[in-house]
Each structure stands twice: as C-alpha cells, then as structure tokens.
Structure 1
Amino acid sequence: MTTPARPVPVVIVDDHAMFRSGVRAELASAGAGVVEVLAEAADVDQAVRAVAEHRPDVVLLDVHLPGGGGVEVMRRSALTAPDTRYLALSVSDAAEDVIGTIRGGARGYVTKTITGPELVSAIRRVADGDAVFSPRLAGFVLDAFAGSIEVAAVDEDLDRLTEREREVMRLIARGYAYKEVAKELFISIKTVETHMSSVLRKLQLSSRHELTRWASDRRLL
C-alpha cells in the first residue's frame, strides 16, 4: 500500500492580516491534508524569524513588505533554512517585480487572482522542485533570460525610485489621471503631482508620454 504524501509545511508572509487569513482559510479548505500552515509573518524581520524557527518546505512570499521586501527575506534566510523554497504570491504582475524576485531566489511567481486549488497545486509543485508561474508571467522570465529585456538596465533605473514612486509611475504610464491615481493609492492629488515630478526628474524624462514609452519598452505596464 502506498504511503500518502505528507502535508507540505508552509509559512505565509504578507503585510495584510486579512489577506493572510484568507489564504490560510483557502489552504485549509482546498489543501486539507496537502498543505499545513505553520506560521504567518507580516514583515521581513518576522518572516526571517518564522523561516528560521519552522524551516518550512515552502514560503508563500509577498514581493513588497515592510523592512526590505521579499528578496530580503530570501537573502537573510539562505543560511538558516537553505532547503526552503519560495513561491511569490503578489498583486503585482509587473516585469521588474517578477524578474527581480526570481533573480532573488524564488522558485515561482503567481498573482493573487489564483484560486485556492491552483495555489495548493503550485505549492506542491514548488515543494517538489518545479518552477511555477502564472501563464503571462512566465513570458517575462523567458524574455529576461533570452536577453530581450535588459534586466540590469531596468533594475538600475528603478532603483532610483521609491516604492510609492513606482506605484505612481506605473499608473500614470497606464493612462490614469492624477485624480484616479490619488483615489487608487489613497493619497492626495498634490502628493501624486509631487511623486510624478520626482519620477520624471530621476528618470530624466520630460512628459507622461515619454514615461509611458519608457515603461512600455521595459515591459512595466
């Protein structure tokens, strides 16, 4: 008689408590007997401690976290939990986030539109050593390794921007009006204008038209 596979030990890392609770509930429902959630963490320091303590097979890792982001979690956990694998679970589908996270050591990247059963399958596959991506995101990785996206140039340019400036940049480049950006990010129109001026100055661009072309060339839209 075949022995059933043991549940995959998992740590959930995300700075939104309601989202962590939702993921835990989905995994309990869709992944009963397949996935076991050992702990949750809301920022980089908590995540590093949880990974070191529990040494899970898989960490469900948000890309943008207080304290340095998902890549920092992987970097700091490399020695304490060398066998742990990371599956990015993020709202972002931007090329720089996907490529940067994979370069940082993640085995997969899926967006938060994924269903419970799909997430359970992705966790199991990552635990087994596979690389897992949402279909559209796989193209970013293939393009990056094929050389059609200049990853170094993208990283160098984006490193000049703060996380909030990146959010404003992406929305403006997608055609959002300042009022719409303010509503989306829960900030004032004046703050949007300030961030936009800073983005154009740092990237040495002169208009939102140039910004849209710059972002499109780098697959950031």
Structure 2
Amino acid sequence: MSRIRVLIADDHPVFRYGLRALLMAEATTMEVVGEATSGEEVTTLAAQALPDVILMDVNMPGLNGIEATRRILAATPQVGILMLTMFDDDESVFAAMRAGARGYLLKGAEGDETIRAITGVSKGEAIFSPTIARRLIGYFGKPPKNPQITHPFPELTEREREILTLIAQGYTNPAIAERLVLSPKTVRNHVSTIFSKLQVAGRAEAIIRARDAGLTKET
C-alpha cells in the first residue's frame, strides 16, 4: 500500500519539527513531502509535490491558511486539507469549511488523534476534533435566524462585515485592532480575506463597495 504523502504548512519551526517527528515515526504509512512557512509557499509546494494531505495552519505570514486552502483546492481539488491550529472560534472553523478544508484539528491534539485525522482526510472523510465537533453541533442546533433579515455581502462572516464597516468609516488596521480587541495580525488576516472574497484590489475599492452597500453605520 502506498504511503500517505503529507505537506506541512506552519510558520512555527518548533511545531513543524514536532509534526515531522510524529510523521517520521509512522514511516511505513506516511511520508513528509515538504514543509512551508507561509501561504504563498504552501500554494507553490502543493502544485510541485502533489501531496495527499496538507496540514495547514490558519494564521501564517502574508497569505493566510484559509485563502491558501481556497487557491490550492481550485487548482488541485483532490488534495485533502486538514486545518491544524490554535483557533477554535466559529468564524475560523466555518471559514475553513467554506474554503473546502476536510477537517479541523486543534494543535493540542494527541499524536494518535492527529495520525487518525490525517488518515481519515486522505480517505475523503470529514474530520473534526471533539471540541470543534461540539461547536458544530451547538451551532446547527440553534434556532434559525429571522429569514427576513438580509445582509450585504453574504459571503462575509459577521466579524468580516464588522471590520469592513470600520474600514468604510476610515479606520486603519491598528485602530480596528484596538477597537475590536484583536491582534494586529488577526486584523490583517481578516482584511486580506475580505479583499479576496470581494475580489477587490485594495482598500480604496473595498471602501467604495462597502459604502455603496450602506456599510457606514456603527456596528
């Protein structure tokens, strides 16, 4: 039986080392075919190495893991992408699902759980850590929202619309981070995702789109 070809994408060298060691211990069934430290790098390596599974961090320098997932699957839809991250908030989970990721695992997962998840994703299964699974059950167990309420840019998450509204109001990224009590890196990642979803070239075009849609009121 052929080994599962795994590509690791994470900007933390210690975490990459731990993953590599874990996978090397499973050398009879798994093979590390490359490591990437950014979204741009993993997108390039995915096309070159043709892995079966990519272990993808959500937050990386430059292109974030969500957008990298979207681009990779547009070019090679057969690849299974397993998000491996510290973030378990609803926005990150559902953004990963919308991008096409097959699974979402927290970085605190045990080695055996990680191996099982990689194996499952390689077979086309949808894999979620117990914490994430409980979140999904809780989310889908909520009563539906008022169907009469519509929002501009339905492709954006609630947080992304909030940030886009602040951009339209003239807030800078540091000001948005301070107002929403988020890290500057998280805001940059959100802004990058917003631009990608709206297919705009930059901040000025995003502001025009937002103001045309009426996103100028306080959130």
Q: Answer whether TM exceeds 0.5 for this pair.
A: yes
Could you tell me which residue of structure 1 aligns to residue 136 of structure 2?
141
Following superposition, the deviation at residue 65 of structure 1 comes to: 1.6
Secondary structure of residue in 2 paired with 1:72: helix
Percent identity among equivalent residues? 34
Q: Is the 8 A contact 1:11 1:60 kept in 2?
A: yes
| One-letter amino acid of the structure 2 residue matched with residue 134 of structure 1 | S
Could you tell me which residue of structure 2 aligns to residue 12 of structure 1?
8
51, 56, 60: which one pairs with 2:51?
56
- TM-aligned CA distance change 1:149 to 1:118, over 3 Å: farther
Range moving further from structure 2, 17-26 or 134-143: 134-143
| One-letter amino acid of the structure 2 residue matched with residue 81 of structure 1 | T
Could you tell me which residue of structure 1 aligns to residue 18 of structure 2?
22
- TM-aligned CA distance change 1:56 to 1:147, over 3 Å: farther
Q: Is the 8 A contact 1:59 1:87 kept in 2?
A: yes
- TM-aligned CA distance change 1:140 to 1:39, over 3 Å: same
Q: Is the 8 A contact 1:99 1:144 kept in 2?
A: no
Q: Is the 8 A contact 1:96 1:154 kept in 2?
A: no
- In structure 1, the gaps of 5 or more residues are 172-180, 182-201, 206-221
2: CA distance between counterparts of 1:127 and 1:67?
27
Following superposition, the deviation at residue 78 of structure 1 comes to: 2.5
1: CA distance between counterparts of 2:174 and 2:100?
21
| One-letter amino acid of the structure 2 residue matched with residue 63 of structure 1 | V
1: CA distance between counterparts of 2:181 and 2:140?
23
- TM-aligned CA distance change 1:48 to 1:87, over 3 Å: same
- TM-aligned CA distance change 1:143 to 1:21, over 3 Å: same
2: CA distance between counterparts of 1:12 and 1:164?
34
Following superposition, the deviation at residue 147 of structure 1 comes to: 6.1
Q: How does 1:1-221 map to 2 (within 5 A)?
A: 5-29=1-25, 31-144=26-139, 148=143, 155-161=157-163, 169=180, 204=218
Following superposition, the deviation at residue 157 of structure 1 comes to: 2.9
| One-letter amino acid of the structure 2 residue matched with residue 74 of structure 1 | T
- TM-aligned CA distance change 1:144 to 1:77, over 3 Å: same
- TM-aligned CA distance change 1:114 to 1:145, over 3 Å: same
2: CA distance between counterparts of 1:167 and 1:11?
35
- In structure 2, the gaps of 5 or more residues are 146-153, 164-172, 184-215
Question: Superposition RMSD on alpha carbons, in Å?
Answer: 3.2
1:48-82: CA deviation from partner (whole Å, max 9, x where unpaired): 01100011110000111222311211222234322
- TM-aligned CA distance change 1:112 to 1:143, over 3 Å: same
| One-letter amino acid of the structure 2 residue matched with residue 27 of structure 1 | L
Q: Is the 8 A contact 1:99 1:140 kept in 2?
A: no
1: CA distance between counterparts of 2:42 and 2:22?
20
Q: Is the 8 A contact 2:6 2:55 kept in 1?
A: yes
Secondary structure of residue in 1 paired with 2:8: strand
2: CA distance between counterparts of 1:11 and 1:98?
21
Range moving further from structure 2, 65-74 or 97-106: 65-74
Q: Is the 8 A contact 2:40 2:63 kept in 1?
A: no
- TM-aligned CA distance change 1:44 to 1:97, over 3 Å: same
